[in-house]
């Protein structure tokens, strides 16, 4: 406990220097060499969340566990922040540590100071995000694609930046060609990246979905899926028979969709029971639908 407290006390003299000279915005500025790259205690209220953060979901239970660890041992690994104008900072990496520190009421957090423009900021955030071990394959693929599109990197340059073989980068990017339902299946853990790769060369969306349904229904392994895909060269996959939709569903589907302003999906079982699925595309959209149900 005492060691953690001592560690977090490091950099307080530099924090005072930074407050006295808040206009350090370039590595060439006076005293920048004493601040940039150092570990400095920064007030949490002076740090804004990184708008380029690729990750939008943070597991609440895991966050509380981290908060408990920080309460006992302190922040072992400093966060990284970008120096803004004045005495303000922007988070580059370490948002879980930042959130957990706030959760337990800490006022400051140890941080590395960086100076970066917006493009460098995005690149640092994406690369840092990619290097995490708990990302799903689609999160990784989307981060790769953003680096290519927004930083204008080639696949060769990208592989160097993230420390991966070019073939590995290519395999991830190809997953984005799959039907969105399959991508969602990978994100939710219903199928693995291996299953997804096995279906990449299946061009027909209906065939992709038929294989996906069979994987789930029969709990197929990756190797079995690969064999199933090969059979497409000589024959078609037996697709599940479509159930006939009752007339009362057909007559009401459009009416319900018009009411919610979204294409509503209605599924009904043979016993007459069913469910209505109402999609939403943002928090605002969700709240709009919620208000309609009041």
Distance CA 89, CA 81 (A): 6
Q: What is the DSSP string of 191-220?
A: S-HHHHHHHTT---HHHHHHHHHHHHHHT-
Q: Is 167 helix (H, G, I), strand (E, B) or coil?
A: helix
Q: What is the DSSP string of 237-265?
A: --PPPPPPPPHHHHHHHHHHHHHHTS--E
pLDDT tens per residue, range 82-96: 888 777 888 888 888
Fold classification of 2-117 is 3.90.1530
pLDDT tens per residue, range 136-154: 888 888 888 888 887 778 8
DSSP letter assigned to residue 106? -
Tell which wins on pLDDT, 49 or 222. 222
Q: Which of 27-31, 124-128, 209-213 has the lowest mean pLDDT?
A: 27-31
Alpha carbon 142 to its chain centroid, in Å, reads 8
Confidence tier at 216 by pLDDT (50, 70, 90): very high
Residue 2 has pLDDT above 50, yes or no: no
The mean predicted confidence, pLDDT, of the chain is 79
Residue ranges of the domains in the chain?
A: 2-117, 135-175, 193-233, 247-292
DSSP letter assigned to residue 29? S
Work out the percent of the chain whose per-residue pLDDT is above 70: 77
Answer yes or no: same fold for 2-117 and 135-175: no
- The active-site residue out of 95, 123, 128, 139 is 95
pLDDT tens per residue, range 158-172: 888 888 899 999 999
Confidence tier at 211 by pLDDT (50, 70, 90): very high
Apex CA 157: angle with CA 151 and CA 159, to 5°?
110
Query: What average pLDDT does range 44-60 have in this prediction?
Result: 75
Residue 238 has pLDDT above 70, yes or no: no
Q: Is 92 helix (H, G, I), strand (E, B) or coil?
A: strand
Nearest to 117 by CA among 159, 156, 151: 151
Q: For 135-175, which CATH class? A: mainly alpha
Residue 233 has pLDDT above 90, yes or no: no
Distance CA 139, CA 216 (A): 22
Query: What average pLDDT does range 26-39 have in this prediction?
Result: 61
pLDDT tens per residue, range 171-203: 999 999 999 899 989 988 899 999 999 999 888
pLDDT recorded at residue 9? 39
Asked if residues 50 and 91 have their Cβ atoms less than 8 Å apart, the reply is yes
Q: Count of CB atoms within 10 A of residue 35's CB?
A: 20
pLDDT tens per residue, range 244-291: 677 777 778 788 877 877 787 877 777 777 888 888 777 777 888 888
pLDDT recorded at residue 237? 54
Q: Catalytic annotation on 95?
A: yes
Q: Which residue has the tokens 């037996």?
A: 238
pLDDT recorded at residue 4? 40
């Amino acid at each position: 406990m005492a060691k953690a407290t001592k560690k977090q006390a490091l950099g307080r003299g530099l924090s005072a220097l930074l407050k006295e000279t808040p206009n350090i915005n370039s590595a060439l500025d006076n005293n920048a060499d004493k601040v940039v790259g150092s570990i400095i205690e920064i007030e949490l209220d002076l740090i804004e969340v990184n708008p380029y953060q690729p990750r939008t979901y943070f597991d609440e239970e895991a966050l509380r566990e981290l908060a408990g660890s920080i309460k006992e041992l302190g922040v072992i690994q400093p966060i990284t922040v970008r120096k803004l104008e004045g005495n303000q900072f922007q988070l580059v990496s370490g948002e879980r540590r930042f959130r957990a520190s706030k959760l337990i009421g800490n006022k400051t957090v140890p941080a590395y100071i960086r100076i970066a423009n917006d493009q460098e900021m995005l690149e640092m955030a994406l690369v840092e995000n990619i290097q995490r071990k708990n990302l799903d394959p689609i999160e990784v693929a989307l981060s790769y694609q953003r680096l290519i599109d927004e930083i204008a990197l080639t696949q060769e340059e990208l592989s160097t930046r993230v420390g991966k073989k070019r073939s590995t980068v290519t395999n991830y990017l190809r997953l984005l060609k799959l039907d969105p339902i399959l991508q969602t299946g990978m994100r939710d853990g219903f199928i693995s990246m291996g299953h997804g790769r096995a279906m990449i060369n299946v061009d027909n969306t209906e065939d992709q979905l038929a294989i996906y349904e069979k994987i789930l229904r029969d709990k197929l392994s990756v190797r079995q899926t690969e064999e199933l895909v090969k059979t497409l060269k000589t024959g078609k996959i037996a697709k599940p028979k479509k159930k006939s939709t009752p007339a009362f569903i057909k007559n009401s589907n459009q009416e319900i969709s018009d009411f919610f302003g979204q294409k509503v999906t209605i599924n009904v079982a043979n016993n007459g029971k069913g469910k209505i699925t109402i999609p939403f595309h943002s928090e605002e959209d969700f709240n709009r639908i919620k208000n309609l149900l009041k």
